[in-house]
Amino acid sequence: MNKVFPLLILLLVVVSAAMGGLYLLSRPQPPPWTSDSRQALEAFEQGLEALKKRYLSEAHEHFERAVELDPDFAMAHLFLARHWRQRASAERLRAVDASRLTPREALFIRYYLAHADGEHDEAEAMLARYLESHPDDPFALSVACDASWLRLDWDEAERCYQHLLERHPNWVEAQNRLGYLAMARGRFDEAEERFQSYVYIAPDQANPHDSLGELYMLLGRYDEAEEAFREALARRSDFCPSLQHLMELMIFAGEIDRARQALADLEAEEACRDVLKGGLRCHAEVLLSYAAGDFEGGWQRVESCSERLYRSVLPHRLALLTGRREDAFELEERLRAGVAQEADLPPREHQWHQAALFHVEASRLLADGRPAAAAELFARADELSTYWGDSQWAFKLYNRLGWLTALELAGRAQEAKALRRKIAAINPRFASVFHAGQETLAELARQAMARSDGDSAESAPRPQ
């Protein structure tokens, strides 16, 4: 009896401790976001989930609902300000009482406002300090990884996303980002593996299929790309990126009638109307005309919406091809002024606009019969461009077509041959849809060279 009693006491202590642990685990935990409204918190969480899936219109509705239910919900205002640039929410953040927020929320508010005020170094410093004491916070890690990506510090971004994925395997956006980083750097096999893993992890979401489709489109695997985009739309019929990518795919495949139908489908989708307002419709119509060889029709479309297209390279090319040199100069100057004013933009955006400026300058030099000088600027544009998504890969390949023409007309045959092989190795079908535009530009160059007293390089034969 004396031996049993101590064992019974020990058993009761162990059971009590276990039950206490279960109580601690089951006891309601405070929410990670600060709001006095349970319904507002639910709406906010739904917004976060939709945003992770890239369902932007749905996310917007949920965040709007959250601030409607709780006008003082700081984090809901932050997401509206950051992702939809809503000025009222941005101003509201400046009056937030940070003492009632969690450390993560207070950091994100200060971080956003510091960037908004141009204090970029201070913003990154406060994020680094927070991560020293909260090294595994997935939200803060994600922001840090995105910051490295925007700075074009891709080695650090890759390391950061990999760490985020190791610590939080269900943070599938990191898998997507790693796929795009591999794609941007020309590591296409690795990118395919990443995107296929993304599909495997989240097969019922639209975005994984869309990301895989973008890679296939870049590589000229157009049938597989269409299948992937349709898989995305089967999961979310109003997924605007896939509707847009289907239209672009049909253009790059030279199927102009199907591209026009895809544009009509995009326009018919109510959820995508905000996307179209941003100039996508204008850009699509101009690109359709250019790909069809209707340069005059393309220019007429440029004139109807040029305010939204001056940063695009196509209006400038169309101005050259239709003999509107003064318009080409004006577009070039507007782009140059825009680049000068954008020094404070994230390097990724500024670098893209600088690449576009080099491209249009090179195109004008080529049309003027100066292929050697044009080749140098096309090369500089190539250095600044990547195979990233959002059709930046299309610009890189398109710029290389101009570079190829300049090299051929400058008599640099070996360099031209090597560049042609590089283009074909990535997407052997890309050049065909832009052949008419490239040949017209080459003919302008040959005519200008014939009028000049150029050297033998300036009198190079028509490329075969």
In this structure, what token pair is assigned to residue 43?
A: 């709406």
Give the pLDDT confidence of 265-295 residue by residue, as tens digits.
Answer: 999 998 888 777 667 788 888 999 999 999 9
The model's pLDDT over 169-220, given as tens digits with 9 standing for 90+, comes to 989 999 999 999 999 999 999 999 999 999 999 999 999 999 999 999 999 9
Q: How many domains does the chain have?
A: 1
Specify if 192 maps to a domain.
Answer: no
Whether residue 258 is contained in a domain is answered as: no
Q: Which amino acid is at 436?
A: A
**How far is Cα of residue 49 from the mean position of the Cα atoms in its chain?**
20
Q: Is 120 exposed, middle or buried (0-12, 13-18, 19+ CB in 10 A)?
A: middle
pLDDT digits (tens, 9 = 90+) for 336-360: 988 888 766 667 667 888 999 999 9
- The residue type of 16 is S
Structural domain of residue 432, as residue ranges?
A: 358-464
pLDDT score of 241 more than 50: yes
Q: Among 7-16, 228-237, 441-450, name the one with the lowest average pLDDT.
A: 7-16
CA 239 to chain centre: 15
> 């803060």: which residue's tokens?
140
Is residue 464's pLDDT more than 60?
A: no
> Who has greater pLDDT, 2 or 290?
290
Interatomic CA distance for residues 364 and 311, integer angstroms = 16
Residue 238 pLDDT greater than 80, yes or no: yes
Res. 9: pLDDT tops 80: no
| 7: confidence class by pLDDT, cuts 50, 70, 90 | very low
Tens-place pLDDT, residues 292-338: 999 999 999 888 875 556 568 999 999 999 999 999 999 999 889 88
Whether 103 shows a pLDDT value over 60: the answer reads yes
The reply to whether 216 falls in a domain is no
The tokens describing 113, both together, are 């406002």
Evaluate whether residue 55 is within a structural domain.
no
pLDDT score for 462: 40
Radius of gyration of the chain, Cα coordinates, nearest whole angstrom: 27
Asked if residue 366 belongs to a domain, the reply is yes
State yes or no: pLDDT of 463 exceeds 50.
no
Residue 72 located in a structural domain:
no
pLDDT band at 388 (very low <50, low <70, confident <90, very high): confident
Distance (Å, whole) CA 292 – CA 436? 8
Is the pLDDT confidence value at 441 over 60?
yes
Residues in the chain: 464
- Phi then psi dihedrals of residue 463, to 5 deg: -65, 145
> In this predicted structure, which of 139-143, 203-207, 352-356, 441-445 has the lowest mean pLDDT?
352-356
For 115, 162, 415, 432, the CA distances from 429, given in Å and listed in that order, are: 42, 34, 21, 6
In a domain, 373, yes or no: yes
Does residue 444 belong to any structural domain of this protein? yes
- One-letter-per-residue 3-state SS of the chain: CCCHHHHHHHHHHHHHHHHHHHHHHHCCCCCCCCCCCHHHHHHHHHHHHHHHCCCHHHHHHHHHHHHHHCCCCHHHHHHHHHHHCCHHHHHHHCCCCHHHCCHHHHHHHHHHHHHHCCCHHHHHHHHHHHHHHCCCCHHHHHHHHHHHHHCCCHHHHHHHHHHHHHHCCCCHHHHHHHHHHHHHCCCHHHHHHHHHHHHHHCCCCHHHHHHHHHHHHHCCCHHHHHHHHHHHHHHCCCCHHHHHHHHHHHHHCCCHHHHHHHHHHHHHCHHHHHHHHHHHHHHHHHHHHHHCCCHHHHHHHHHHCHHHCCCCCHHHHHHHHCCCHHHHHHHHHHHHHHHHHCCCCCHHHHHHHHHHHHHHHHHHHHHCCCHHHHHHHHHHHHHHCCCCCCCHHHHHHHHHHHHHHHHHHCCCHHHHHHHHHHHHHHCCCHHHHCHHHHHHHHHHHHHHHHHCCCCHHHHCCCCC
Mean pLDDT on 44-57: 95
Q: State the chain's mean pLDDT as an integer.
A: 88
Q: What's the pLDDT band for 24 if we cut at 50, 70, 90? A: very low
Please check the confidence at residue 25 and state whether its pLDDT lies above 50: no
Find how far residue 73's CA is from the centre of its chain. 29
Please, are residues 265 and 284 in contact by the beta-carbon 8 Å criterion? no
